[in-house]
């Protein structure tokens, strides 16, 4: 794609606006050797430029997008319709409460539904993303220990090695020391290592279940029990609740704090499409520390804002990204109490269906039934044929499929992590599996072709090292 900016007559200064008095210093008088060559384009040209860019972008609306851990599900259009209602879209956070009763009621309703789904008592919508929710949840844990006079002593957060990278980062940002807990060969938390690590200095544990290798840790009650016994609290990273929503609840697994990614499980757009929402929920004993403001129903049935009495402070303005909550609530209400577990079941079914088809050729990192995602280990293939996880991912691009998550989780080498989600049809899953099996055959027969993939994408194989070290951050200008 090349856009040639031409300088038309209007490029010499705008004829419809009066000449402006740019201060001398701004003109860099004497220093500029020639006139600035700013682009001048017609509306048609700009329109075509952006349409062309749009056509080059691959999204959930274009095709299969099995990016593991990211839950790239279809975002129903009805969510957008709800969020575009003038009463929601035109809301001002400082308008009088009695003129925003519907919005406040919606916030209270969404909080109630999400508390029901997670087994928590209260939830704050302030955090703007998953990692922001983690940070906020850790602040609650910190406030709890501080109030009990144990803030100085409880400085460590236990994080399994299969955790999402944001977990240790958030714990460090919240001022804790991160203690890595290794997984056993089955991909689950090593209980004896956890017992060794838990003690008087433990502030808490951060865990995702199902974890990032797509396995549900059956020892979860024992895990949370060990941490509680040591005096720590348990944090559930619920960014990706897709396998368990409506089926099991973090609150019943023994967790005290949880965050959700509304921009994953609850079908609001993400991946360059922002904004996000990472609400933080907690059990009643932590609710006084939640960040305000929160919508609450008053005794007379009206709604208003409240700020929890011992709040850790605001982590964002007002109620966070309100319209994201509107979309998530539209999703919850349109699925209903039956539809939510059904979506989870279909997500798990789709992942297992695809896993089973691929097992014929590819090695799975962990055998057996998976949850909403599965991880393939391509290290043997690479050793034998030279074809890496990256090569297979690039090959998928030529087949019109978005690659899965690569080289994550870190505990699996040459990892490809697939999460098909519940919104994909059997035909789509069959097509993607067939493509992957074909790439496997190609890896044995014509490995060199895969090293050269993609050939049909708008850009071919990028030099990723150069792109990271010397990024080109300006548009090209053809004179």
Ligand X SMILES: *Cc1c(COP(=O)(O)O)cnc(C)c1O
Nearer to ligand X, 209 or 388 (CB): 209
Site string for ligand X, 332-351 (x = CB under 6 A): --------------------
164: contact with ligand X by CB under 6 A = yes
Using alpha carbons, select from 123, 86, 316 the residue that is nearest to residue 238: 123
Pick the piece of the chain touching ligand X (CB under 6 A) from 8-16, 124-132, 145-153, 320-328: 124-132
Q: Identify the residue among 208, 311, 385, 423 touching ligand X (CB under 6 A).
A: 208
Bond prior to 275 in cis (omega within 30° of 0)? yes
Beta strands in 64-170 (DSSP E): 122-124, 156-160
Q: Identify the residue among 202, 261, 321, 388 touching ligand X (CB under 6 A).
A: 261
Q: Spell out the residues 6+ positions from residue 475 whose beta carbon is closer than 8 angstroms to its own.
A: 3
Dist. CA 17–CA 10, nearest whole Å: 11
Q: Spell out the residues 6+ positions from residue 180 whose beta carbon is closer than 8 angstroms to its own.
A: 159, 160, 161, 168
278: contact with ligand X by CB under 6 A = yes
Nearer to ligand X, 391 or 419 (CB): 419
Report, in Å, the least distance between residue 421 CB and ligand X. 13
Residue 370: alpha-carbon gap to chain centroid: 20
240: contact with ligand X by CB under 6 A = yes
69: contact with ligand X by CB under 6 A = yes
Report, in Å, the least distance between residue 164 CB and ligand X. 3
127: contact with ligand X by CB under 6 A = no
209: contact with ligand X by CB under 6 A = no
Report, in Å, the least distance between residue 259 CB and ligand X. 8
Dist. CA 70–CA 347, nearest whole Å: 13
Pick the piece of the chain touching ligand X (CB under 6 A) from 37-45, 188-196, 234-242, 441-449: 234-242
Q: Report DSSP state, residue 447.
A: H
Residue nearest to ligand X (CB): 130
Dist. CA 52–CA 57, nearest whole Å: 9
Pick the piece of the chain touching ligand X (CB under 6 A) from 126-134, 283-291, 401-409, 457-465: 126-134
Dist. CA 189–CA 154, nearest whole Å: 22
Dist. CA 364–CA 358, nearest whole Å: 9
Site string for ligand X, 128-157 (x = CB under 6 A): -xxx--------------------------
DSSP-based three-state secondary structure for 190? coil
Nearer to ligand X, 261 or 385 (CB): 261
Q: Identify the residue among 75, 162, 166, 346 touching ligand X (CB under 6 A).
A: 166
Nearer to ligand X, 136 or 352 (CB): 136
- The end-to-end CA distance of the chain, in Å, is 16
Q: Spell out the residues 6+ positions from residue 261 whose beta carbon is closer than 8 angstroms to its own.
A: 71, 129, 130, 133, 238, 239, 240, 270, 276, 277, 278
Site of interaction with ligand X (CB under 6 A)? 69, 129-131, 164, 166, 208, 237, 239-240, 261, 276, 278
């Amino acid at each position: 794609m090349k856009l040639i900016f031409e300088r038309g007559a209007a490029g010499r200064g705008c004829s419809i606006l009066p000449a402006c008095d740019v201060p001398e210093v701004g003109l860099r008088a004497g220093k500029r050797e020639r006139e600035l060559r700013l682009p001048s384009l017609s509306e048609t040209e700009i329109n075509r430029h952006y349409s062309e860019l749009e056509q080059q972008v691959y999204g959930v609306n274009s095709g299969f997008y099995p990016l593991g851990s990211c839950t790239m599900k279809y975002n129903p259009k009805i969510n957008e319709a709800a969020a575009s209602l003038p009463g929601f879209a035109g809301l001002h956070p400082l308008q009088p409460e009695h003129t925003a009763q519907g919005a406040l009621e919606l916030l209270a309703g969404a909080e109630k539904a999400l508390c029901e789904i997670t087994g928590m008592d209260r939830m704050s919508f302030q955090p703007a993303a998953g990692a922001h929710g983690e940070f906020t949840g850790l602040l609650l844990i910190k406030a709890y220990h501080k109030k009990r006079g144990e803030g100085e002593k409880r400085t460590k957060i236990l994080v399994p090695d299969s955790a999402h990278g944001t977990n240790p980062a958030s714990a460090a940002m919240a001022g804790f020391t991160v203690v890595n807990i290794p997984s056993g060969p089955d991909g689950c938390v090593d209980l004896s290592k956890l017992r060794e690590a838990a003690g008087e200095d433990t502030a808490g544990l951060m865990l995702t279940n199902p974890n990032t290798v797509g396995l549900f840790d059956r020892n979860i009650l024992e895990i949370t029990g060990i941490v509680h016994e040591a005096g720590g609290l348990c944090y559930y990273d619920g960014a990706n609740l897709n396998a368990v929503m409506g089926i099991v609840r973090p609150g019943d697994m023994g967790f005290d704090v949880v965050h959700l990614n509304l921009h994953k499980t609850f079908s609001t757009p993400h991946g360059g499409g922002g904004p996000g929402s990472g609400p933080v929920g907690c059990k009643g004993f932590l609710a006084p520390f939640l960040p305000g403001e929160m919508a609450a129903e008053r005794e007379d049935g009206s709604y208003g804002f409240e700020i929890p009495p011992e709040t850790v402070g605001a982590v964002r303005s007002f109620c966070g990204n309100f319209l994201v909550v509107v979309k998530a609530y539209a999703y919850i209400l349109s699925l209903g109490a039956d539809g939510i577990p059904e979506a989870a079941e279909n997500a798990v079914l789709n992942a297992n269906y695809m896993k089973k088809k691929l097992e014929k050729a590819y090695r799975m990192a962990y055998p057996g039934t998976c949850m909403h995602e599965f991880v393939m280990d391509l290290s043997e293939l690479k050793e034998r044929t030279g074809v890496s996880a990256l090569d297979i991912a690039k090959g998928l691009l030529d087949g019109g499929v978005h690659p899965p998550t690569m080289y994550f989780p870190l505990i699996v080498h040459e990892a490809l992590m697939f999460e098909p989600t519940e919104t994909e049809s059997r035909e789509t899953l069959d097509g993607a599996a067939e493509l992957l099996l074909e790439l496997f055959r190609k890896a044995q027969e014509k490995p060199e072709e895969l090293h050269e993939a993609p050939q049909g994408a708008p850009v071919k194989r990028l030099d990723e090292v150069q792109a990271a070290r010397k990024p080109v951050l300006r548009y090209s200008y053809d004179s």
